Amino acid sequence: MKQREGRPGQKKTSGPSGESRRDDRAGRPPKPVAQPAVTREAAVPAAVVRPLMIRSGERPTERVPVILESLGAGDFHLIDSGNGEKLEQYGPYRIIRPEAQALWRPSLAPQVWEKVDAAFTGDTDEEGAGRWRFPKEALGETWPLNLLGVDFLGRFTSFRHVGVFPEQIVHWSWMKEQVAKAGRPLKVLNLFGYTGVASLVAAAAGAEVTHVDASKKAIGWARENQALGRMEKLPIRWICEDAMKFILREERRGSQYDIILTDPPKFGRGPNGEVWHLFEHLPLMLDVCREILSPKAVGLVLTAYSIRASFYSIHELMRETMRGAGGVVESGELVIREAGTDGKTPGRALSTSLFSRWVPK
């Protein structure tokens, strides 16, 4: 399935998307017994459903609440926010986009907000289409950006997004550090990989990456980003497929990964009519991800957007999924802190999403 609702170039899809462990389990506990998964009848084709595992052992220890905060990085920072909007810096451009959680008044003067290069107008819903207004001069569809040493293209899309979700910088920085210090090539699986920035960050750090997204346009954009940074020789597999189908097949094959990033949408449809409902199908997705984690796995990262839920809902699900695996589950929110016009003046924190992350220790 495709990414979160309203990502550019996508129909509203995602779900059993995005993308058994090997039998070399010496010294590991017996495989858990299966029990039926709870799913809506016919919501997903029967071929992609398998029972959830009954897991035993202690749940991982917990670290809550955890607030992972970014003040920006590279060519991005949040300048100001308020009145249901956010003012951002993306490389040379200042951009205004809708932000429902910015309930307060802007800190900066109206004149600062008026001197922007682009502003998204129209439907303010996450999945709603609209258009861009360019107060100064017409701008091209794309422009070059850089985050964490990776070059990629920003793009003015009809769904208000620009090709990167900068709150993920904290996860990408963590992943980059894990890959760099591993002393071996880690295998990274990026589900609902979108425009490939996370995949490029991981591969540039030395990982072998499998990037999965159901949108051909998103995969094409990711390849553009790879070419822009002259990273064509990096070990990245670009897979255009429904995420759930992919990971179920990887489970049957006995494939394993050291780090799994999964960034599913609230609702979506896959290329062959697969239906994804986050609250119904996330348990199975995490369950399969657990099965394809390697014995020396470094982490399983889940991010959830635009849902009416506490982070505790995905936190407790992650702890149950990882029962018997040891380690710790840390969960909370991703936030971006305002940084002013200079990118260095801390202001208010803008919450963007929920997350849960399992790490082995």
pLDDT per residue rounded down to tens, the chain (361 residues)? 444 444 433 444 433 333 332 233 333 344 444 443 333 333 344 345 789 999 999 999 999 999 999 999 999 999 999 999 999 999 999 999 999 999 999 999 999 999 999 999 875 555 556 799 999 999 999 999 999 999 999 999 988 899 999 999 999 999 999 999 999 999 999 999 999 999 999 999 999 999 999 889 999 999 999 999 999 999 999 999 999 999 999 999 999 999 999 999 887 666 666 777 788 899 999 999 999 999 999 999 999 987 888 999 999 999 999 999 999 999 999 999 999 999 999 999 999 999 999 999 8
Closest CA to 242 of 188, 285, 199, 297: 285
Greatest Cα pair distance, the chain, in angstroms, is 66
- Number of Cβ within a 10 Å radius of residue 128: 14
Rounded CA gap, 309 and 304, in Å? 10
| pLDDT computed for residue 324 by the predictor | 98
Q: How far is CA 150 from the centre of its chain?
A: 17
Rounded CA gap, 79 and 86, in Å? 8
What is this structure's pTM? 0.85
Q: Say if residues 284 and 324 touch (Cβ distance below 8 Å).
A: no
Cα angle: 290, vertex 296, 302; to 5 degrees = 40
Rounded CA gap, 7 and 213, in Å? 12
Structure tokens at 159: 């769904």
| pLDDT computed for residue 47 by the predictor | 44
Contacts 24+ apart (CB under 8 A), 286-289: 286/262, 286/317, 286/318, 286/321, 287/37, 287/52, 287/53, 287/321, 288/50, 288/244, 288/247, 288/248, 288/251, 289/191, 289/247, 289/260, 289/262, 289/321
Residue 58 backbone phi and psi in degrees, to 5 = -75, 150
| pLDDT computed for residue 123 by the predictor | 57
* 267: enclosing H helix or E strand: strand 267-269
| pLDDT computed for residue 17 by the predictor | 38
Structure tokens at 117: 């290069």
C-alpha distances in Å from residue 327, one per residue of 35, 140, 300, 303: 25, 47, 11, 19
Cα angle: 16, vertex 63, 355; to 5 degrees = 30
- Number of Cβ within a 10 Å radius of residue 181: 9
Buried b / exposed e across 58-97, counting CB within 10 Å, b at 16+?
ebbeeeeebebebbbbbbbbbbbbbeebbbbbbeebbbbb
| pLDDT computed for residue 3 by the predictor | 40
Cα angle: 309, vertex 315, 316; to 5 degrees = 100
